[in-house]
Structure 1
Amino acid sequence: MSRFTHATIEKNSILLLLLSLMAVSIGGIVEIVPTFLIKTTIEDVKGVRPYSPLELAGRNIYIREGCYLCHSQMVRSLRAEVERYGHYSLAAESKYDHPFQWGSKRNGPDLARIGGKYSDEWHRLHMESPRKIVPESIMPGYPFLARTPLNYRQIENDMKALRVTGVPYTDEDIANAKADLEAQASSEADTEGLMARYPKAVARDFDGNPKEITELDAMIAYLQMLGTLVDFNAYENADFNQ
C-alpha cells in the first residue's frame, strides 16, 4: 500500500506540488510563528549602550582596514573558547552593530573581550609593528594610523544614519558629538557630559600624542571598550563539566 501511494504521488505532478507546498508551509509556520509570539528575540542586557563618537570613529576605521577579515568578535559557548577568551558572547552586545563584526575567520585571536586586556602602549606598538609584540604574528603593521589626523567632520551624519537603523542616539547625543569625541581623546577635558551619555567610556590620550587626535586614538578607544560594558559577574557561567 505504501509503495502504491508513493508511486502515485510521484507520478502526479500536481499532487506532488500541493503536498510539497503543504510540507514547506507547515515547517515554515513552526519556525516563524514563535518569533512573533515572544516579546523580543534579543534579551536586554544592562550596560550595553551605543558607541561614543570616538569609539564609533574607531569602529569605522576597523571596518575600513578590513580587520574583521582576520579577527572575529564572537566567543562561542564552547569550553575551549570561554577559557581562552572569556564569557561567551551575548546577542545584545551586537544589537547596535551595523554591520555586526562576528567575522568568519581567526587568523588572529578573537577580539570580543580585548578591552582593558592590554595597555594603550601595547596597542600603539602592536599597530606600529605587530612582530615587536608577537614575533610569530602575520598581521601587517598600521603605522600610518598614528600619523593620520582623525577626520570627524561627518561624525554627526554617521550617528544620524545609525539612528535610522534603530540605534537610540538622541538629538543631544548628535549635537554634542564633536565635543564628546574631543573630550574622550583628551586627558584634561571635562568629561561629565560624555560620561552621562556614554557610561564606562574611557577618556584619555590613547596614542601618546596630546597635540593631535589621530586615527590611532579612535582605533585604540574602540578596542579598549570591546567587552567592557557588561558585568558578566551577574551571569552564571555555563557548567562545562556536566
Structure 2
Amino acid sequence: MLRLHYNLEKMSMGLVAGIIVAASIGGIVEIAPLFTIDETVEIPDDMRPHTPLELAGREIYIREGCYACHSQMVRSLADELDRYGPYSLAAESAYDHPMLWGSKRTGPDLARLGEKYSDAWHSAHLIDPRSVVPASIMPAYPWLSRDLDTDLIGDQLATLATLGVPYTADMVDAALDDAKGQSQPDTEAGDAVRERYGADVAVRAFDGDPGRLTEMDAVVAYLQSLGTLTDAPYELLAGETQ
C-alpha cells in the first residue's frame, strides 16, 4: 500500500485524480444529508422567525464580524451546559441564512444570551466594553448610535420568505412599520408587532430612546432574541434530567 502511494506521488496527474476522488467522497458525505434536511430537522410549533428589527440587528452583527469571536452553538458537554444552558438544536437555526454557529470563542458563546442582561447593559457594553467588563478585549462600537438604515428591510424579509422562512405577505408589507414599532412600547405599532410575531416578542426602546430608531436598537433587539425563539431546548433538557 505504501509502495502504491509512493508511486502515485510521482505522477502529478494521478495524484490530482486521487485528491479529487478523496475530496469528492468527503463532499458527498457532508452534502448528501442536507438534501434530507426537511425530514431530519423537526421545527418546533412555537418556533418564530426574527422580527424585522432583530433581522436588521443580525445583519449588523454579521457586518461587524461578531461571528468571528462569538459562537452560537452550545455543545452537549457538561461544562457547556453548566455555563451556557441547554445544548443547541438544529431546528433553532432552520431559519438562519447564513447560520452563525461559529468556530471560535474569543468571547463567550451567545446562543442563550437573550434576556440574560438588561438592554442598558448591552448598550453600554457595545459602546465601551470595559465599562461593564473590565477585562474585556472586545472592540468598542460607538457608531451603533447612528440611525438605522431601513431601506432594505422589506426586501430582506421577502428574500428569506422565498427560502422557506415563514414570513407572510402581511409581515413583508409591514416590515418597515414593525421595525419601528418594536422600539416603541405602548403604541399601536408595538402592539402590531406582537400580533404578528407573538406576545412574547420584546417591544422596548432598546437603546433607551423611543424617539429614534438606531443601529443600537437593532443589535440589542437581536442579542435579546438569541435563545428565545423557541422553548424546545429547555423542554428537551428538562425531560432528559427527570
> What range describes the TM-score normalised by the shorter chain of this pair?
0.7 to 0.9
Which position in structure 1 is the counterpart of 2:219? 219
Structure 2 CA distance for aligned equivalents of residues 154 and 32 of structure 1: 34
Q: Deviations over 1:168-217 (max 9, x none)?
A: 21111111111111110112322332112212210010001222110000
Equivalent residue runs for 1:8-19 within 5 Å: none
- How far residue 229 of structure 1 moved from its aligned partner, in angstroms, is 2.3
Equivalent residue runs for 1:91-130 within 5 Å: 91-130=90-129
Which position in structure 2 is the counterpart of 1:81? 80
Which position in structure 2 is the counterpart of 1:202? 202
What amino acid is the match of 1:113?
Answer: R
- Secondary structure, aligned partner of 1:224: helix
Which position in structure 2 is the counterpart of 1:169? 167
Equivalent residue runs for 1:1-242 within 5 Å: 40-146=39-145, 148-190=146-188, 191-199=190-198, 200-231=200-231, 232-237=233-238
- How far residue 237 of structure 1 moved from its aligned partner, in angstroms, is 4.6
Please provide the CA RMSD for this pair. 2.7
Q: Deviations over 1:36-84 (max 9, x none)?
A: 5x97110121321111000000001000000000000000011110110
Q: Which moved more, 1:191-200 or 1:118-127?
A: 191-200
Q: CA 1:130–1:193 in 2, change beyond 3 Å: closer, same or farther?
A: same
Structure 2 CA distance for aligned equivalents of residues 100 and 209 of structure 1: 31
With structure 2 as the length reference, what TM-score do the two structures score? 0.81
- Secondary structure, aligned partner of 1:127: helix
Structure 2 CA distance for aligned equivalents of residues 159 and 92 of structure 1: 19
Q: Contact 2:70–2:102 at 8 Å: present in 1 too?
A: yes
Structure 2 CA distance for aligned equivalents of residues 166 and 97 of structure 1: 10
Q: CA 1:136–1:44 in 2, change beyond 3 Å: closer, same or farther?
A: same
Q: Sequence identity of aligned pairs in percent?
A: 49
With structure 1 as the length reference, what TM-score do the two structures score? 0.81
What amino acid is the match of 2:177?
Answer: A
Q: Deviations over 1:91-127 (max 9, x none)?
A: 1100000000100100000000000000011001101
Q: Contact 2:49–2:229 at 8 Å: present in 1 too?
A: no
Structure 2 CA distance for aligned equivalents of residues 239 and 212 of structure 1: 45
Structure 2 CA distance for aligned equivalents of residues 92 and 67 of structure 1: 22
What amino acid is the match of 2:39?
Answer: T
Which position in structure 2 is the counterpart of 1:16? none
- How far residue 165 of structure 1 moved from its aligned partner, in angstroms, is 1.5
- Secondary structure, aligned partner of 1:124: helix
Q: Which runs of 4+ in 1 moved over 4 A?
A: 237-240
What amino acid is the match of 2:225?
Answer: M
- How far residue 133 of structure 1 moved from its aligned partner, in angstroms, is 1.0
More helix by proportion, 1 or 2? 2
Q: Which runs of 5+ in 1 are unaligned?
A: 1-6, 8-20
Q: CA 1:236–1:174 in 2, change beyond 3 Å: closer, same or farther?
A: same
- How far residue 135 of structure 1 moved from its aligned partner, in angstroms, is 1.0
Number of residue pairs matched? Answer: 217
